[in-house]
Amino acid sequence: MRISELMLAIRNMDAVLPEFQREFVWVREQSKQLMVSLYKDYPTGSLLFWKTKTPPEIKNNAVDTDKIGTANVILDGQQRLTTLYLLTQDEIPPYYTEVDIKYDPRNLFFDLQSGDFQYYNLNSLPILYLH
């Protein structure tokens, strides 16, 4: 499955997180290393979903009741999926709130010249004007 399809599934609440899953605990370096691995085409692990008509309690009730039985419950890969959602969608996934994200990786940037991923404070970056 493509990353864009996974992100759409999370946005549409077709992929949901069970309450029994641990919170998002990755520190920013782990999020950075996921992106490095994807960029270098390294293996990044597998994902495991559970489709059931009787799902467990869903985190933050982030499930459309019409989709119960068709939504995929995320059992493995939550840290990676959450990181990808934060970085590619620039927002918190529906199954979390802002206070749930302790180590927000959204200020990770890719340096085209060096080919490196780095965290930057947007307020400290120079402004480039193109004419």
Q: Give the DSSP H/E element, type plus range, for residue 8.
A: helix 3-11
Share of the chain above pLDDT 70, in %: 92
State pLDDT tens for residues 44-53.
999 999 998 8
CB 105 within 8 A of CB 49: no
CA separation (Å) from 32 to 9, 14, 88? Answer: 23, 26, 13
Give residue 66's pLDDT.
76
Mean pLDDT on 93-112 = 94
What is the residue extent of each domain of the chain?
3-105
Residue in the structure block whose two tokens are 């019409």: 66
- Report if pTM > 0.85: yes
Q: How far is Cα 87 from Cα 27, in angstroms, rounded to an integer? A: 14
Residue 37 has pLDDT above 60, yes or no: yes
